Amino acid sequence: MQDITQDHSPLPADDPSRTLTIARPESDASLRHVALVGDTYTILLDGKQTNGHYCLIDMHIPKGGGPPPHRHDFEETFVVQSGEIVATFRGETTTLRAGETLHIPANAPHAFTNLQEEPARLLCICSPAGQEEFFLQVGVLVPTRTSSSPPLSDEEKAAAGKKAQALASQYRTEMVQKS
């Protein structure tokens, strides 16, 4: 384990060019809500706001929602705010409920789904930032945090899947086969 107490250099000066951010997902019209894989992801903090350290995403996951199996070279943490999800990590499944946290180490294959009638709400932290940009590239902007994904024809679904696959490596992500 890394010992973070070794560095005794002074803290850098405050950077006044960085500002306080307050995200209000229910009322802030400047927030971006992205429909993707049947879910809606609201970008609360992006890499520009955190100096690239992380992004914070509010996830609305309806019944049957959740991403397909994938992996990426950044850390990802989910905090279940309401509802529950079934997560698969390296082929093992576990159920997480409101108040519980799941951390996915970089490069590990994982997925999750909501099997309940009630939508699940998660906070997702990706470190370093960048995943929010992938979502913006492959998803569709919708008006609110709980907006449904617009209906897509089979051709549109196929095109969206191809676009995600084409952009995945640029965003350090790989889709994996279900095990």
DSSP 121-136: EEEEEEESS-HHHHHH
Q: Give per-residue burial for 86-110: e unless 16+ CB within 10 Å, then b.
A: bbbbeeeeeebeeeeebebeeeebb
Tell whether 7 is covered by a domain: no
Look at residue 100 in the predicted model and tell me its pLDDT.
98
| Amino acid at the residue 104 | I
Tell whether 5 is covered by a domain: no
Tally of structural domains, the chain: 1
Burial of 85 (0-12, 13-18, 19+ CB in 10 A): buried
Q: For residue 64, give its domain range.
A: 54-139
- Tens of pLDDT along the chain (179 residues) come to 666 667 778 999 999 999 999 999 999 999 999 999 889 999 999 999 999 999 999 999 999 999 989 999 999 999 999 999 999 999 999 999 999 999 999 999 999 999 999 999 999 999 999 999 999 999 999 999 999 888 888 888 888 888 888 887 787 878 787 64
Tell whether 92 is covered by a domain: yes
Tell whether 60 is covered by a domain: yes
Model confidence, pTM: 0.88
- CATH number (domain holding residue 71): 2.60.120.10
Tell whether 63 is covered by a domain: yes
Could you tell me if 133 and 47 are in contact, meaning their C-beta atoms sit under 8 angstroms apart? yes
Tell whether 58 is covered by a domain: yes
Tell whether 134 is covered by a domain: yes
Look at residue 178 in the predicted model and tell me its pLDDT.
61
Residue 18, C-beta contacts closer than 8 angstroms, at least 6 positions apart: 51
Look at residue 1 in the predicted model and tell me its pLDDT.
64
Look at residue 30 in the predicted model and tell me its pLDDT.
93
In the three-class reduction of DSSP (H, G, I as helix; E, B as strand; rest coil), residue 159 is classed as helix
Quote the radius of gyration of the chain (alpha carbons, Å).
17
